[in-house]
């Protein structure tokens, strides 16, 4: 696609955008001047869709009028509420409904999955992670290693980019996996690194991990709802994601879990159990002896969190209405490409500002990370004062996430114009 820096270009793109009407489905927070912000923080907390309030209100109504009977009656009985989300959640990550369950929160689910998919032995006990993974994932893995009586500094191998590079090369990941060989128990990577915005080649990493007999899983916090995923076909063993970033399902929102079909009928696979994971036919018989429900739902512990799930359900419906992630991705690539174009137009020396997110659209989602070597915080505040909401990561990274459901080309143009002004004023 050819871009140009004029405001007319942005207006024409918005006028021709088949997804433009979805912006009206969201509440865009006002900026300092009372006008809608240009919100580029959807990779941290997605905006509130208008439909979410009604979805929660419907469950309040059930609670108000039916109380305990809401578990079995009403439009969507709470007892089966999570099952009603599985199909569209599975579409988001490229899975079978049997392979997906919505429950808990992300780090909790990561731990539950590691119980099943990180079972170190005396010789096969290493975990491979991307260096600089999201802190919660680092802490989770450290504590899992300790849980098994291992020294985290020995058990956990972190792979970092080559000197002078910001992102990992797939061939280096594959080589590291081969090198660890029989000592490697589990590979756990982000689908997208939160800091650089790099999309990892999940199919290649899974292949390489399986070739040495390791389990392979992904934290899809920044990938779910952002890029096209095919977890089933890629043969990924397990994955989890939060729903409050690109999936717009609210602060502390619920989380999703993927467990490949090949584990669906393995009741003996080690796991932590609770009554909601029990065979639903017998769940209310209150009998001793855990018999897991087939598939990912056999990892549930507690009765479903209906209110956060109601918010998520409204969002999944929006994703379906928009034509799914593949359709959103077409606009996402254009928005991110346009943002990159406008930044490159400034022709700033790398000593001032560089984009550390890969330039290849296949290796990034809806995010650019700017490493701002000089006056980074000042630039961030300058943008905020002009109603441009970005994300600041210490010590000097500004992340901007154009989201196809609610960001416009005009939003991106606002960023370009503000940057031009900031650097023009120097």
Ligand X SMILES: *Cc1c(COP(=O)(O)O)cnc(C)c1O
- Binding of ligand X at residue 366 (CB under 6 A)? no
By beta-carbon proximity to ligand X, the closer residue of 134 and 234 is 134
- Binding of ligand X at residue 107 (CB under 6 A)? yes
Do residues 402 and 335 touch, judged by C-beta distance below 8 A?
yes
- Binding of ligand X at residue 190 (CB under 6 A)? yes
The binder of ligand X chosen from 95, 221, 247, 403 (CB under 6 A): 221
The binder of ligand X chosen from 59, 99, 137, 391 (CB under 6 A): 137
Q: Positive or negative, the Cα torsion across 153, 159, 162, 163?
A: negative
By beta-carbon proximity to ligand X, the closer residue of 7 and 252 is 252
Q: Is 226 left (phi over 0), alpha (psi -120 to 50) or beta?
A: alpha
Q: Is 413 left (phi over 0), alpha (psi -120 to 50) or beta?
A: alpha
Residue in the block written with tokens 């909601």: 276
Which 227-256 positions form the footprint of ligand X (CB under 6 A)? 242
Residue in the block written with tokens 């379906």: 320
Contacts of 206 (CB under 8 A, 6+ apart): 216, 234, 235, 236, 237
Q: Closest approach of Cβ 347 to ligand X, in Å?
A: 32
- DSSP SS3 for 123: coil
- Annotate each residue in 35-74 with x if it binds ligand X (CB under 6 A) or - if it does not, as one string: ----------------------------------------
By beta-carbon proximity to ligand X, the closer residue of 44 and 119 is 44
Q: At what angle do helices 306-321 and 83-93 cross, to 10 degrees?
A: 50
- Binding of ligand X at residue 218 (CB under 6 A)? no
Q: Closest approach of Cβ 190 to ligand X, in Å?
A: 5
By beta-carbon proximity to ligand X, the closer residue of 246 and 338 is 246
Phi, psi of 69, deg, nearest 5: -65, -15
By beta-carbon proximity to ligand X, the closer residue of 137 and 201 is 137
Q: Closest approach of Cβ 417 to ligand X, in Å?
A: 30
> What's the chain's length in residues?
426
The binder of ligand X chosen from 9, 58, 74, 136 (CB under 6 A): 136
Do residues 232 and 260 touch, judged by C-beta distance below 8 A?
yes
- Binding of ligand X at residue 194 (CB under 6 A)? yes
Positions in the binding site for ligand X (CB under 6 A): 105-107, 134, 136-137, 190, 194, 219, 221-222, 242
């Amino acid at each position: 696609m050819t871009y140009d820096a004029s405001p007319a270009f942005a207006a024409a793109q918005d006028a021709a955008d088949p997804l433009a009407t979805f912006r009206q489905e969201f509440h865009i927070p006002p900026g300092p001047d009372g006008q809608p912000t240009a919100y580029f923080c959807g990779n941290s907390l997605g905006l509130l869709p208008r439909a979410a309030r009604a979805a929660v209100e419907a469950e309040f109504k059930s609670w108000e009028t039916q109380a305990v009977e809401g578990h079995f009656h009403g439009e969507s009985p709470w007892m089966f509420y999570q099952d009603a989300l599985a199909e569209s959640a599975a579409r988001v990550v490229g899975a079978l409904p049997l392979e997906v369950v919505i429950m808990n929160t992300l780090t909790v689910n990561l731990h539950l999955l590691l119980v099943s998919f990180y079972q170190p032995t005396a010789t096969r006990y290493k975990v491979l992670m991307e260096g600089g993974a999201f802190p919660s994932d680092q802490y989770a893995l450290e504590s899992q290693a300790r849980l098994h009586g291992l020294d985290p500094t020995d058990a956990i191998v972190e792979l970092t980019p080559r000197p002078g590079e910001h992102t990992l090369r797939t061939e280096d990941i594959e080589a590291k996996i081969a090198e660890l060989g029989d000592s490697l128990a589990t590979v756990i990577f982000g689908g997208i690194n939160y800091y650089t915005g790099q999309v990892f080649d999940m199919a290649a990493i899974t292949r390489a991990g399986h070739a040495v007999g390791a389990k392979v899983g992904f934290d899809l916090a920044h990938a779910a709802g952002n890029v096209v995923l095919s977890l089933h076909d890629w043969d990924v063993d397990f994955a989890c994601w939060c729903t409050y970033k690109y999936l717009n399902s609210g602060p502390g929102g619920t989380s999703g879990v993927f467990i490949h079909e090949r584990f669906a009928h393995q009741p003996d696979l080690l796991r932590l159990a609770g009554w909601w994971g029990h065979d639903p036919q017998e769940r209310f018989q209150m009998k001793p002896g855990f018999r897991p429900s087939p598939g990912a739902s056999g990892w549930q512990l507690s009765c479903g969190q209906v209110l956060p799930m109601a918010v998520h359900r409204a969002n999944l419906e929006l994703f379906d209405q928009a034509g799914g992630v593949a359709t959103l991705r077409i606009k996402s690539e254009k928005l991110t490409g346009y943002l990159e174009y406008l930044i490159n137009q400034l022709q700033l020396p790398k000593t001032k500002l560089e984009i550390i997110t890969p330039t290849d659209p296949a290796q990034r989602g809806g995010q650019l990370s700017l490493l701002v070597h000089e006056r980074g915080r000042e630039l961030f505040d300058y943008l905020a004062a002009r109603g441009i909401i970005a994300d600041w990561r210490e010590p000097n990274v500004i992340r901007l996430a154009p989201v196809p459901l609610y960001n416009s080309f005009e939003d991106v143009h606002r960023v370009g114009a503000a940057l031009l002004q900031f650097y023009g004023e120097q």
